[in-house]
Amino acid sequence: MLTIPQTAGGRPARLVTLFGILDARGSKRVHYIFDDGSPAYAEAQLPADGPVRSMTLQTPAAAWHERELHDQFGIEIVGHPDLRPLIFHENWPEGAHPMVDAVSEVPWANRKYRFLEVQGEGVAEVAVGPVHAGIIEPGHFRFSVVGDTILHLELRHFYTHKGTEKLFQGRTVADGVMLAESVSGDNCFAHAVCYCQAAETALGRNAPPRAMAIRLIGLELERLVCHISDVGGLCTDVGFAVAAACATRIKESLLEASAQCCGTRYWRGIAVPGGLRRDFESARAVELSRAVAGASAEFAKLASMILETPSIQNRFEGAGILSSETARDLGVVGPVARASGIDYDVRREHPYGGYGHQMEVPTTHYGDVMARARIRIGEAAISARLIQETAGVLPEGSIFEPVAAGGEAQGFSAVESPRGELLYWLEVRGGRLARCHIQSPSFQNWPAMPFAVADNIIADFPLINKSFNLSYSGCDR
């Protein structure tokens, strides 16, 4: 079994991700990435042609990762408490491991899946999904309830699994970015930049300063749009339609400003390994910055009105508490972690691109829906400020440095996406991608949701779910 590295303070390092790779000789290996508090993260590897000891009982955050390893690579995991299939549903045959086998024709099967059964007097099961009542991504929730109170929630996801990591393989480094942009559409720019930075690290080249500054503007704009949208969504889920409509209006004004500034509403097709595809006129950056200032001021006003509304306080406070201890055990990241007392932000701990150590990071320890709303409102204001500061002093110079993709190289990079720590790890052989692993914050945070909803009433589930706002496609890939 792997020895878990320690932080400078003597605590076990946080598991960021673990995933399978096939080395150049075709042998299976497990690659681990830990956050030991150093700016560079810590990496480790184990051979995996034979059985690998599970670390789930020491590090619960490893549970889903090891199940994925078992599904995708057929790696035998010893001592895992729950090795039911995670990624592949009933219609996948047993023994299909797409990451190691040729997968042109996977036969259809009809396997059984066993949900955890909660027994006892008065316990009822409520099954929701995969198709939900609204414009939402698919996933299945199995509630065990007594009356209105949730005893246990079991998640069944990966309905939107598209085999994305396998699709990267064989593509050129330049082409991979389009796939990265389609992993989770509402934060496609974070995925694109993270992929590009990983490629740049692997190939030993940095994007020019002007490209880094423009990337920072795009990343912060994406965060601002997501947080405004999330706060509006929370209002929708408690029936506060006026505030929700105001939030969608502010969000739309930012998307429009984006389209005018760089020809795309969500910054698709802007980032490439080595920098950016096109430059920004300075006048456009100023216009965008002005739109951001206006939207941010409007949102701040709206947010304070929302937070001061008694019926909102009544619904948000105390709902869906995620304790700091559970969040730590499960390696939860992003605004959800910061609302549960974990003072962690990739922009500050592992600075990249145009960010530095001096980042302001709001945190609180309540861990409820209100805490998660407050964190997002606080971060939105900081993002708006960062955009305005950066747009005013864009460095001159080129926006693109070609990256040569010969030989063999590995590299990874992390980005603080709107949902939290996003990491791409990739390996290049002969100019083409041999492996690309995506560690999305949604994959990391979903397992924490059942802990937050336990003991709440089922009618509060949509609200709690929205306060986590996790991406299904980002998780399922």
Partner 1 sequence: MIFEVIEQSLRQPDRVIPVEALLGNCEGSRMPEVVADRLTPAIAEKLVELCPTAAFALEESDGRRALQLAYGRCIGCGRCAESGEGAVRVAKRFALCGLTKQQMVRQWDDSGGGEIPARIPGPQDIRGEIESLLQRALNVRQLDAGSCNGCEAEITALTNPYYDLERFGIHFVASPKHADMLLVTGPVTRNMAGAVRATYEAVPSPKLVVAVGACGCSGGIFAGSHAIVGAVDAVIPVDGYIPGCPPTPGMLVSGILEVLRRRIAKR
Please, which residue, 98 or 354, has the CB nearer to partner 1?
Answer: 98
**Nearer residue to partner 1 within complex by CB, 188 or 288:** 188
**Residue 458 in contact with partner 1, rule: CB under 8 A:** no
Could you say whether residue 141 binds partner 1 (CB under 8 A)?
no
Q: Supply the minimum distance, in Å, between the C-beta of residue 170 and partner 1.
A: 11
Instruction: Determine, following the binding rule CB under 8 A, whether residue 106 of this chain makes contact with partner 1.
Output: yes
Of the ranges 46-54, 264-272, 335-343, 450-458, which one interacts with partner 1 (CB under 8 A)?
264-272
Q: Does 92 bind partner 1 (CB under 8 A)?
A: yes
Binding-site member from 182, 206, 324, 364 for partner 1 (CB under 8 A): 182
79 binds partner 1 (CB under 8 A): no
Q: Site for partner 1 (CB under 8 A): which residue of 179, 207, 382, 387?
A: 179
* Residue selected from 114, 308, 356, 357 as contacting partner 1 according to rule CB under 8 A: 308
The answer to whether residue 206 forms part of the interface with partner 1 (CB under 8 A) is no
Q: Which of residues 338-377 bind partner 1 (CB under 8 A)?
A: none
The reply to whether 303 sits near partner 1 by the rule CB under 8 A is: no
Please identify, using beta-carbon distances, which residue of 390 and 473 lies nearer to partner 1: 473
# chain residues binding partner 1, by CB under 8 A: 65
Of positions 185, 294, 351, 362, contacts partner 1 by CB under 8 A: 185
Integer-rounded Cα Rg, in Å, for the chain is 22
Q: Which is nearer to partner 1, 84 or 301 (CB)?
A: 301
Of the pair 201, 440, the CB lying nearest partner 1 is at 440
Q: Is 126 in the site for partner 1 (CB under 8 A)?
A: no
Candidates 246, 285, 321, 403; binder of partner 1 (CB under 8 A) is 246
Chain contacts with partner 1 (rule: CB under 8 A): 88-89, 91-92, 98, 103-104, 106, 130-131, 133-138, 158-164, 166-167, 175, 178-179, 182-186, 188, 242-243, 245-246, 248-249, 251-252, 255-256, 258-260, 263-266, 268-269, 277-278, 301-302, 305-306, 308-310, 471-473
